[in-house]
Structure 1
Amino acid sequence: MMTPRKSDVHRRIVSKDGHNQVRIDNVEGLVQLYLHDIWTTVVDMKWRYKLTLFSSTFIMTWFLFGVIFYFIGMGNKDFEGELLSNHTPCIMNVQTLTGAFLFSLESQTTIGYGFRYITNECPLAIFVLVLQLVTTGLAEIFVTGAFLAKLARPKKRAETIKFSKWAVICWRDGKLCLMVRVANMRKSLLIQCQLSGKLLSPNITEEGEKTLIHQTAVDFYMDSCGECPFLILPLTFYHVLDESSPFSGLTAERLQTCDFELVVTLNATMESTAATCQSRTSYIPQEILWGQEFQPVLFSTPSGRFIADFNFFDKVQVNTNNPLLSNNTEKQRLEEEYNNE
């Protein structure tokens, strides 16, 4: 499963903070694909682009319809120097492009100062006003909805889920386990939490086909089950390195020469909104410590309260009772017994 490293370049598919590191290139018609799903494109925009789109939507529609009203008035000869006594302008008190822009702004934002208004002698201007209110209303609903959708995305909630900087391998309950620590940084609960992993490594099939990335499932458990009812305390999830594990046969020496990436994903439901969120991180061999264990992070006070001290969240210590640290004879005996089970 895991192959030796050929260089010191540690490429990641997923960064430590959970972002995708894969660059998409040479896709034909990528712009059309993004425009076809315009809603997702707008929601995924960075905040600086979204704020620009939000403000420009209002400004451009005000200006565009202001220009249209100006041309309507020009076609009706409202801007000529001397007007006939019986001439009724399309829009009263609009003599310049600036005035037409202000009328468009007042109409779209329903300010309605009453100084500028459409007369009943110009059906075209009335039609354009109705068109403006309908069109811009739909545009504002779309942009405002995308703005709010980005604010309410579960992705922001996932940023308050903390993974340990290191993963450790040590013995637990007589089994060799790979452990990862996870914590919820908010007081609001995350329910139905489930941690899963994917081992990404180069692979050669039986037919001789080489694949740069081969995905293998890595199951994580907490105590006796794989699903946690709620995440309120810093918890440690573990994966047993048995014969069915993709890490089967892994040793401390092999760990330093392997080329793989372990992507760990936490899926949970937010108790407050019932929306699902997902947070992820990844570990390369240099971030997996052999023969280490996490230091305690949960302490009790004399008053009976529990305190989670995050100064110890990423700290590890050597397990002096770990069979991995015994002499070579004892180590070999334990490995043989473990392999024979």
Structure 2
Amino acid sequence: MPLKKLFRSAHSSAQSLPDISAGSTIQPESPDNHWTDIWGVLREAPDRGKWNDAHWKSRAVQRSLVEAGRHAGRSRVEYVAPNIGFHLLTRDFFITAINTQTKWLVLIIFAIYLALSFAWSVPYYLLLRYSPGCIYGAETYVEMWTFSFITMMTIGYGNTGPQACWAASWVIAIQSISSLLVEAVTIGIIFARISHPKQRGRSIFISDSAVIARRDGVLKFMFRVADIRRTQVVDPKIKAFMYTWGEGRVTAEGERIPVRCEAIDTGYIDGMLILPLTIEHTIDEKSPLCGHTHDSLVALDAELVVTFEGTTEFGNPFMARRSYVPSDLAWGHQFVDIICRPAAGETHYTIDLDRFHDTRPQEGLPPLPPAPLSQLVVSRAKRTVPYPLLGDNTLALADSLVLYRGSDGGLRLAARAADTYPNQALDVTARMYLYRWSDADAVEPGQPPVSIVQLECGYVDGTDRLHLRLPVEVAHVIDASSPLAAWDGPDATAALRADADAEVVVVLSGYLYSTSENVLRQRTYVVSRHVRAGCVFADIVKHPALTKDRKPRVRWARFHDVVPQQGEFLEDGAEEEVGASANSGLDSAFADAPAPSE
């Protein structure tokens, strides 16, 4: 920020407009307070975040691997061993010197030069006392100390200097060479500190808090990153890791592993970094955050460490780092908009860095403490589909199953699958699994409480693949060989009631052609809550003849909608009565049921 703008912002923030009412007087502002406010603005570290005293004191006493606040990014890990400092100083002197605090480095350099000047003044004084004629124009020790300092800085003598004396000449030569080496090391350390690219990391802004919220119905972990310089960072990379402690774990061999570190995939990043980016991590079955809430993260002493790596335009690599503990996670929040488009007649975009770290609650969420709010965010899933973004997992499954009769009269259990970015996912396969849970009181010792069978839906052998240019149905035909054959028998009502707590898991898997990464989409449907009997999925594909560009269109807003099937659900009267009873029970249970889990 230019200095003129900085003082202007400080001046505007330091002044306030008092309310002027009848009989009131305006007290002149104290110059001391004015300059104090300006000094406060100058000392601010906007890249470190907005930390009030209460939050800073609370965060400072929490256990963490990486510091936050004014010293954000600095490691809190201390290695303890006898003489470890001496080992680093002697075996890794240059890095140790560069990483020394500036005040200590300046004091050490002063001390070294003063010590050397006093050390070399001793032989000069001995020459003055016991070898008269070697050094002219000096009589006291102070003059010899000054002579030593002059020799160490530069060889240019005036009223005091050496004469034709081999002893003085040897001392001057040795001191000059040793002083040259000391100066070379000192200049190297100072230049390395000045040119060290780690200061480039101070122009990389990473939000002081992260959010866990839903975007287009998908649960995501998000934080914001920006590069406030106009010079481009070469090959920027963002990595994230989750450290969990808890009680640790013990291996089969008795080894105790106290901490677990898992990588968090941050996906695609804009290599230009012209505008601030909100980095997303999808919390799905492959995510280390899957299933976690605020309480579980606190119990595990979880810490999420984010690193930004890049290279300056001069080829020097640098890094910025930030960590988030559970108190830094804002559940059900989103970052405020800070990008301002230019008005008419203007050409520059504006980024409001004063609000870079700010978040606000998402609409429709009640003001709750972090623990219950996190449970609500995790369990709440809107009837949405993934945003069609290249490189993202855009596979979608409807939030209910339908049970209907096909044109051949056979009973079908179907799910709807789609790719919101058509054909981005290739070699997509679909599988259905039925989980039948036994009665908890009837489970015998040694017997599993659940039986798992696969429902054949045309993709068992793996030779068939879904072509997801448009949404398709994945159907399991209920015939005599089906595990669900009882649903279409004379005791259909009893069979449906027996399977009320059963779960149907539908899994889509494939890989993205843009990133060559495997993707997975999974939903779990409870029979009593998510199976819509006597219904079919609503038609959402618009015929090409009805569009202007003669291309089919998908009404994604109705992707999850189901409608009653035309005609009779079951064939004869007795079966129709059974089916209607079962259908009514399923529909009434589904009306107030939460969305199926992903």
Q: 1:151–1:330: structure 2 CA closer, same or farther, 3 Å change rule?
A: closer
Counterpart of 2:304 in structure 1 is 262
Shifted more, 41-50 versus 19-28: the winner is: 19-28
Please state if 1:96 is matched with 2:140.
yes
**Any residues of structure 2 matched to 1:119-268 within 5 Å, and which?**
119-120=163-164, 122-202=165-245, 203-207=248-252, 209-221=255-267, 225=268, 227-251=269-293, 254-255=296-297, 257-268=299-310
Say whether 1:275 aligns with 2:289: no
Which deviates the most, 329-338 or 233-242? 329-338
SS in 2 for 1:101: helix
In structure 1, distance between residues paired with 2:112 and 2:297? 55
Shift of 1:62: 2.1
User: How far apart are the structure 1 equivalents of 2:84 and 2:294?
Assistant: 48
Change over 3 Å in CA distance of 1:61–1:196 after alignment to 2: same
Name the CA distance, whole Å, in 1 between partners of 2:294 and 2:322. 22
Range with bigger deviation, 16-25 or 30-39: 30-39
Q: How many residues align?
A: 316
Distance 2:217 2:209 in 1: 22
Which one is further off, 295-304 or 182-191? 182-191
| 1:288 and 2:329 matched | yes
Counterpart Cα distance in 1 of 2:212 and 2:114: 58
Q: Could you tell me whether the CA contact under 8 Å between 1:192 and 1:228 is conserved in 2?
A: no
> Retained in 2: the 8 A contact 1:169–1:289?
yes
Deviation of 1:205 after TM superposition, in Å, equals 4.4
Q: How much has 1:27 moved relative to structure 2?
A: 3.4
Name the residue aligned to 2:111: 56
Counterpart among 12, 22, 44 of residue 64 in structure 2: 12
Contact 1:57 1:139 in 2 (8 A): no
Quote how far apart the aligned CAs of 1:174 are: 4.6
Deviation at 1:110, TM superposition (A): 2.1
SS of alignment partner, residue 205 of structure 2: strand
Distance 1:62 1:19, change over 3 A: same
CA distance in 2, matches of 1:69, 1:106: 12
Is 2:348 aligned against 1:305? yes
Distance 1:252 1:70 in 2: 73
Give % identity: 27
Whole-Å separation in 2 of the counterparts to 1:293 and 1:144: 48
Say whether the 8 Å CA contact 2:243–2:260 is kept in structure 1.
yes
Is residue 217–residue 382 contact of structure 2 (8 Å, CA) maintained in 1?
no
> Could you report, residue by residue, the CA deviation over 1:5-42 in whole angstroms, capped at 9, with x for unpaired residues?
xxx97310101210111222233554134222221221
1:32 counterpart = 2:87: yes
In 2: Cα distance, 1:102 partner to 1:252 partner: 67
Q: What SS does structure 1 have at the residue aligned with 2:340? A: strand
In 1, Cα distance between equivalents of 2:110 and 2:296: 56
CA contact (8 A) 2:210 2:223 kept: yes
Larger Cα-atom Rg: 2
Mark the CA change 1:306 to 1:103 in structure 2 (over 3 Å): closer, same or farther. same
Q: 1:173 Cα shift? A: 4.5
Alpha-carbon distance in structure 2 between the residues aligned to 1:190 and 1:14: 24
CA 314–147 in structure 1, closer or farther in 2 if over 3 Å, else same: same
Quick one: distance in 2 between partners of 1:283 and 1:329?
24
**Partner Cα distance (1:63, 1:127) in 2:** 18
Q: Which range moved further: 260-269 or 157-166?
A: 157-166
Task: Give the deviation of 1:97 after TM superposition.
Answer: 0.8
* Matched position secondary structure for 1:259: coil
Return the letter of the residue paired with 2:156.
G
Q: Deviation at 1:71?
A: 0.9
2:120 alignment partner, one of 65, 69, 75: 65
Q: Matched residues in 1 for 2:332 and 2:200: separation?
A: 33
Counterparts of 1:330 and 1:110 in 2: how far apart (Å)? 76
- Where 1:305 maps in the other structure, the secondary structure is coil
Does the Cα contact within 8 Å between 2:136 and 2:163 map onto a contact in 1? yes
For 1:315-334, what aligned pairs fall within 5 Å after superposition?
315-320=358-363
Once residues 317 and 72 of structure 1 are traced to their aligned partners in structure 2, the CA distance between those partners, rounded to angstroms, is 78
Structure 2 equivalent of residue 3 of structure 1: none
CA shift for structure 1 position 256: 5.8
Q: Deviations over 1:73-104 (max 9, x none)?
A: 2221x2xxxxxxxxxx0011121111112222
Q: Which is bigger in relative contact order (C-alpha 8 A, separation at least 6)? A: 1
Post-superposition shift, 1:116?
1.5
The counterpart of 1:43, out of the listed 76, 86, 98, is 98
TM-score of the two chains, using structure 1 as the length reference = 0.83
User: CA 1:37 to 1:253, structure 2 compared with 1: closer, same or farther past 3 Å?
Assistant: closer
Structure 1 residue 321: Cα displacement: 6.9
1:85 aligned partner: none
Following superposition, the deviation at residue 305 of structure 1 comes to 2.4
RMSD value over aligned CA atoms? 2.9
How far apart are the structure 2 equivalents of 1:246 and 1:107?
64
Measure the CA separation in 1 of the matches of 2:336 and 2:280.
Answer: 15
187-196 vs 39-48, greater mean Cα deviation: 187-196
CA contact (8 A) 1:191 1:228 kept: no
